[in-house]
Amino acid sequence: MQKVYSKIESIVGNVITVRARGVRNSELAIVTSQGEQSYANVIKLDDDLVSLQVFSGAQGISTGDQVRFLGVPMRVSYSENLLGRVFDGTGRPRDNGPSLTDNMIDIGGPAVNPAKRIIPRNMIRTGIPMIDVFNTLVESQKLPIFSVSGEPYNPLLARIAMQAEVDLIILGGMGLKYDDYLFFKDTLENSGAMSRTIMFIHTASDPTVECMLVPDMALAVAERFAQDGKKVLVLLTDMTNFADSMKEMAITMDQVPSNRGYPGDLYSALASRYEKAVDFEGAGSVTILAVTTMPGDDVTHPVPDNTGYITEGQYYLKGGRIEPFGSLSRLKQQVNKDTRDDHRALMDGMIKLYASYKESLEKKSMGFNMTDWDEKLLKYGRLFESKLMDLSVNIPLEGALDLGWEILSDCFEPNETGLKSDLILSRWPKKLNN
Amino acid sequence: MANTSGRVLGVNGNMVTVEFDSAIAKNEVGYIHVGDDRLKGEVIRINGNTASLQVFEMTGGIRVGDAVEFSGEMLSVALGPGLLQQIYDGLQNPLPELAKQCGFFLQRGVYLDAIPNKDWEFTPLAKEGDQLRPGDTFGTVPEGLFTHQIMIPFNLADVAWKVVSIKEKGTYGVRDTICTVEDAKGTRKDLSMIFTWPVKKAIKLYEERLRPDETLVTKIRVIDTFLPVAKGGTYCTPGPFGAGKTVLQHMTSRNADVDIVIIAACGERAGEVVEVLKEFPELVDPKTGRSLMERTIIICNTSSMPVASREASVYTAVTMAEYYRQMGLSVLLLADSTSRWAQAMREMSGRLEEIPGEEAFPAYLESRIAEFYERAGKVRLRDGRIGSVTIGGTVSPAGGNFEEPVTQATLKVVGAFHGLSRERSDARKYPAIDPLTSWSKYEGIVKQAKVEYARNILRRGNEVNQMMKVVGEEGTSVSDYITYQKSELIDAFYLQQNSFDPVDASVPPERQKQTFEVLFKVLATEFDLEDKKQVRSFFNTIRQKFLDWNNVESGSERFTQIEGEIHALYQGKQRGVDPDAEQLI
Instruction: Tell me if B300 and A258 make a contact (CB, 8 A cut-off).
Output: no
Residue at B161 is within a domain: yes
pLDDT of residue A50: 95
* pTM for this entry: 0.92
The residue from B421, B440, B459 where one domain ends is B440
Give bridge partners of residue B235 from the DSSP assignment: B392, B416
Average pLDDT taken over every residue of chain B: 92
Instruction: State the DSSP code for A202.
Output: E
Distance of residue A390 Cα from the nearest chain B Cα, in angstroms:
25
* CA–CA distances in Å: residue B60 to residues A43, A50, B89: 9, 14, 21
Closest residue to A25, CB basis, from B11, B302, B359: B11
CB-CB neighbors (< 8 A) of B275 in chain A: 119
Residues B255-275: b if buried by 16+ CB within 10 A, e if exposed: bbbbbbbbbbbbbbbbbbbbb
Angle at the Cα of B404 (from B403 to B407), degrees rounded to 5? Answer: 90
Residues B346-378: b if buried by 16+ CB within 10 A, e if exposed: bbbbbbeebebeebbbbeebbebbeebbebbbb
Confidence of residue B474 (pLDDT cuts 50, 70, 90): confident
Per-residue pLDDT at B565 exceeds 70: yes
Q: What is the CATH number of the domain that holds B415?
A: 3.40.50.300
Residue at B106 is within a domain: no
Residues B296-314: b if buried by 16+ CB within 10 A, e if exposed: bbbbbbbbbbbbbbbbbbb
* CA–CA distance, B284 with B294 (Å, rounded to integer): 10
Residue-wise pLDDT tens digits, B499-514: 878 899 999 999 999 9
Q: State percent of chain B over pLDDT 90.
A: 76
Residue at B94 is within a domain: no
Phi and psi angles of residue A134, each rounded to the nearest 5 degrees, phi first: -95, -35
Q: Higher pLDDT residue, B348 or B379? A: B379
* CA–CA distance, B393 with B332 (Å, rounded to integer): 11
Closest residue to B304, CB basis, from A21, A45, A272: A272
Residues B32-50: b if buried by 16+ CB within 10 A, e if exposed: bbbeeebbbbbbbeeeeee
For A206, what's the count of Cα atoms within 13 Å in the CB-facing half-sphere? Answer: 28
* CA–CA distance, A419 with A423 (Å, rounded to integer): 7
Of B160, B157, B158, B176, the closest CA to residue B168 belongs to B176
SS3 B491: helix
Q: For chain B, positions 393-432, list CB contacts with chain A under 8 A.
A: 396, 398-401
Residues B426 and B457 in one domain: no
Confidence of residue A434 (pLDDT cuts 50, 70, 90): very low
Q: What is the CATH number of the domain that holds B502?
A: 1.10.1140.10
Residue at B517 is within a domain: yes
Residues B175 and B212 in one domain: no
The residue from B440, B456, B490 where one domain ends is B440
pLDDT of residue A2: 65
Mutate to test the interface with B, among A267, A297, A327, A335 (most CBs of B within 10 A): A267
pLDDT of residue A431: 66
SS3 A27: strand
Residue at B331 is within a domain: yes
Residues B215 and B189 in one domain: no
Residues B503 and B452 in one domain: yes
pLDDT of residue A366: 79
DSSP assignments along B385-442, one per residue: -EEEEEEEEEE--GGG-TTSHHHHHHHHH-SEE--B-HHHHHTT-SS-B-TTT-EE-S
Give bridge partners of residue B572 from the DSSP assignment: none
Residue at B163 is within a domain: yes
* CA–CA distances in Å: residue B378 to residues A343, B292, B330: 50, 23, 8
Chain B residue with minimal CA distance to A117?
B274
Across the range B437-454, mean pLDDT stands at 95
Confidence of residue B426 (pLDDT cuts 50, 70, 90): confident
Give all strands of the β-sheet with B137-143 in edge-to-edge order. Answer: B146-151, B137-143, B119-124, B170-173
For residue B424, give its domain range. Answer: 208-440
pLDDT of residue A197: 96
Across the range A205-231, mean pLDDT stands at 95
Per-residue pLDDT at A432 exceeds 80: no
Residues B466 and B400 in one domain: no
Q: Are A126 and A247 in contact (CB under 8 A)?
A: no
- Interface residue B7 vs chain A (CB under 8 A): no
Of A133, A151, A150, A123, the closest CA to residue A316 belongs to A151
Give bridge partners of residue A24 from the DSSP assignment: B63
Q: Which of B102-116, B308-322, B462-476 has the lowest mean pLDDT?
A: B462-476
pLDDT of residue B1: 46
Q: Are A321 and A278 in contact (CB under 8 A)?
A: no
Give bridge partners of residue A201 from the DSSP assignment: A173
Angle at the Cα of A349 (from A344 to A355), degrees rounded to 5? Answer: 130
DSSP assignments along B510-578, one per residue: HHHHHHHHHHHHHHHEEE---SHHHHHHHHHHHHHHHHHHHTSPTTSHHHHHHHHHHHHHHHHTEEEE-
Residue at B409 is within a domain: yes
Annotated binding site of B for ATP: 239-246
Closest residue to B398, CB basis, from A26, A302, A312: A302
Residues B158 and B226 in one domain: no
Residue-wise pLDDT tens digits, B55-111: 999 898 999 999 999 999 999 999 999 999 999 999 999 999 999 999 999 998 899
* CA–CA distance, A401 with A409 (Å, rounded to integer): 12
Per-residue pLDDT at B2 exceeds 70: no
Residues B399 and B472 in one domain: no
Q: Are A220 and A105 in contact (CB under 8 A)?
A: yes
* CA–CA distance, A226 with A306 (Å, rounded to integer): 26
pLDDT of residue A226: 96
pLDDT of residue A257: 87
Residue at B326 is within a domain: yes
CB-CB neighbors (< 8 A) of A70 in chain B: none
Chain A residue with minimal CA distance to B398?
A305
DSSP assignments along B261-298, one per residue: EEEEEESS-HHHHHHHHHHTTTSBPTTTSSBGGGGEEE
Instruction: State the DSSP code for B226.
Output: I
Report ipTM (2 d.p.). 0.87
Q: Which of A30-34, A239-243, A428-432, B143-147 has the lowest mean pLDDT?
A: A428-432
Across the range A337-342, mean pLDDT stands at 90
Per-residue pLDDT at A97 exceeds 70: yes
Residues B245 and B389 in one domain: yes
DSSP assignments along B158-192, one per residue: SS-EEEEEEPPSEEEETTS--EEEE-TT--EEEE-
Residues B170 and B223 in one domain: no
Confidence of residue A395 (pLDDT cuts 50, 70, 90): very high
First to last CA, chain B: 72
Q: Are A333 and A402 in contact (CB under 8 A)?
A: no
Strands A66-73 and A27-33: antiparallel
Annotated binding site of B: 239-246
Domains of chain A in start order, with CATH, are 4-73 (2.40.10.170), 77-333 (3.40.50.12240), 343-427 (no CATH)
Residue-wise pLDDT tens digits, B188-220: 999 999 999 999 999 999 999 999 999 999 999
The residue from B390, B423, B440 where one domain ends is B440
pLDDT of residue A433: 46
Q: What is the CATH number of the domain that holds B138?
A: 2.40.50.100
Of A252, A263, A350, A353, the closest CA to residue A302 belongs to A263
Residues B454 and B409 in one domain: no
Per-residue pLDDT at A238 exceeds 60: yes
Per-residue pLDDT at B517 exceeds 90: yes
Residues B436 and B463 in one domain: no
Mutate to test the interface with A, among B33, B55, B64, B426 (most CBs of A within 10 A): B64
Residue-wise pLDDT tens digits, B389-402: 999 999 999 888 99
CB-CB neighbors (< 8 A) of B240 in chain A: 308
Per residue, the 3-state secondary structure of B46-113, as one string, reads EECCEEEEEECCCCCCCECCCEEEEEEEECEEEECCCCCCCEECCCCCEHHHHHHHHCCECCCCCCCC
* CA–CA distances in Å: residue A428 to residues A336, A346, A412, B364, B574: 20, 11, 11, 64, 46
Per-residue pLDDT at B113 exceeds 60: yes
Q: What is the CATH number of the domain that holds B18?
A: 2.40.10.170
Residue-wise pLDDT tens digits, A302-315: 999 999 999 999 99
Residues B313 and B369 in one domain: yes
CB-CB neighbors (< 8 A) of B340 in chain A: 267
Q: Structural domain tally of chain B?
A: 4
Q: State percent of chain B over pLDDT 70.
A: 100
Amino acid at B360: A
Q: State percent of chain A over pLDDT 70.
A: 99
Across the range A33-42, mean pLDDT stands at 90
Across the range A6-14, mean pLDDT stands at 91
Q: Which of B147-161, B275-289, B316-330 has the lowest mean pLDDT?
A: B275-289
